[in-house]
């Protein structure tokens, strides 16, 4: 009885192993409830998605570095405007300080005049000397405030020169920014409609691809420098990294029974037949 049970368990294990569709170096995808969607259908769908996404990439490549250049110029203009506003605030603060210094000078002059008048009515030398010290102190205050005023005026002149120079740079950058924006707007106007249509096609096609396969596609595509997540075999080598593919794996790819990925770059691999079907479907649409 125990022997029969062990045979039954061994038979079930073999059956389970035969049902495994994917090897270690293949993309793990969900089993679909409908047997109508074959691995070949899945590969064609993903390859079609790649064709559409590559067209979108090409459109965005046409724009080149313009969006980044526009953003960089906008940031530079914003920085210069902030710098000018800071200079203006500093000048305003200096002007307020100068008003205080001028008021202090006037006050000191009034006090000096008063002390001098009081010196004419002193009763002894002690009072005279005390008033003289006050007069000297106010004269020193006037000298110090006048020195500060001169320093502040020089600082203000320097800041005004900086503002003028910064304004010139800002004007130059704004002109360059307008040219770049105009150039970018023209390119966007030419390609916006096509990009929108392709993006809609891409989103619609993504709905037809099972979630784990789509997630794998996006992950591979995000890590690939050229944005290619699925590539055709070319001269017995991966069309992405150009490493040679072993004969047995090449045979597995042609069988369309498993989704095979390159062991070097992790891109999904397809043969010429899948590529042709996907291209024909894409042209028909």
Where are the chain's structural domains? 22-62+205-284, 66-192
What pTM does this model have? 0.53
Q: Is residue 24's pLDDT more than 50? A: no
According to DSSP, the β-strands at 268-270 and 230-232 are parallel
Q: Strand, coil or helix: what is 259?
A: coil
* Helices assigned H by DSSP within the chain: 2-19, 39-63, 66-119, 125-207, 211-223, 247-255, 272-284
108 or 28, which is more confident: 108
Q: What is the pLDDT of residue 103?
A: 95
- Rounded to an integer, what distance in angstroms lies between the CA atom of residue 243 and that of residue 102? 82
pLDDT digits (tens, 9 = 90+) for 75-90: 999 999 999 999 999 9
Interval 34-70: pLDDT, tens: 446 889 999 999 999 999 999 998 888 877 778 888 9
Exposure string (b/e) for 224-254, b if CB count within 10 Å is 16 or more? beebbbbbbbeeebbbbeeeebeeebbebbe
Summarised one tens digit per residue, pLDDT across range 234-245 is 988 999 999 999
% pLDDT > 90, the chain? 55
pLDDT value of position 26: 55
- What are the pLDDT digits (tens) for 192-217? 888 888 999 899 989 988 889 999 99
Question: And the tokens for 96?
Answer: 């307020």
* Better-scored residue on pLDDT, 128 or 282: 128
- 132-181 residue pLDDT tens: 999 999 999 999 999 999 999 999 999 999 999 999 999 999 999 999 99
pLDDT in tens, 254-285: 999 889 999 999 999 999 999 998 888 777 66
CA proximity to 68, closest of 177, 195, 191, 190: 177
Kindly give, in sequence order, each residue whose CB lies less than 8 Å from that of residue 40, ignoring residues fewer than 6 positions away. Answer: 256, 274
User: 66-192: which CATH architecture?
Assistant: Orthogonal Bundle (1.10)
Q: Are 150 and 94 in contact (CB under 8 A)?
A: no
Query: What percent of the chain has pLDDT above 70?
Result: 87
């Amino acid at each position: 009885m125990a022997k029969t049970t062990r045979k039954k368990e061994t038979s079930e294990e073999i059956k389970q192993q035969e049902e495994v569709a994917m090897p270690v170096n293949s993309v793990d995808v969900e089993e679909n409830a409908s047997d109508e969607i074959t691995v070949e259908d899945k590969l064609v769908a993903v390859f079609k998605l790649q064709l559409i996404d590559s067209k979108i990439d090409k459109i965005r490549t046409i724009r080149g570095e313009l969006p980044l250049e526009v953003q960089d110029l906008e940031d530079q203009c914003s920085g210069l405007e902030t710098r000018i506003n800071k200079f203006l605030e500093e000048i305003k603060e200096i002007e307020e300080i100068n008003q205080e210094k001028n008021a202090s000078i006037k006050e000191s002059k009034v006090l000096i005049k008063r002390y001098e008048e009081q010196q004419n009515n002193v009763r002894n030398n002690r009072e005279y000397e005390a008033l003289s010290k006050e007069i000297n102190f106010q004269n020193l205050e006037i000298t110090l405030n006048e020195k500060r005023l001169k320093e502040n005026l020089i600082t203000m002149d320097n800041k005004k020169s900086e503002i003028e120079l910064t304004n010139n740079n800002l004007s130059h950058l704004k002109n360059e920014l307008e040219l770049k924006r105009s150039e970018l707007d023209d390119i966007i106007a030419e390609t916006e409609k096509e990009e929108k249509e392709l993006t809609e096609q891409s989103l619609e096609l993504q709905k037809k691809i099972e979630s784990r396969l789509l997630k794998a596609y996006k992950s591979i595509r995000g890590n690939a420098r050229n944005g290619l997540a699925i590539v055709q075999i070319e001269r017995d080598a991966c069309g992405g990294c150009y490493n040679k593919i072993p004969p047995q794996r090449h045979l597995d790819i042609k069988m369309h029974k498993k989704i095979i990925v390159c062991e070097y770059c992790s891109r999904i691999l397809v043969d010429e037949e899948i590529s042709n079907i996907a291209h024909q479907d894409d042209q028909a649409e």
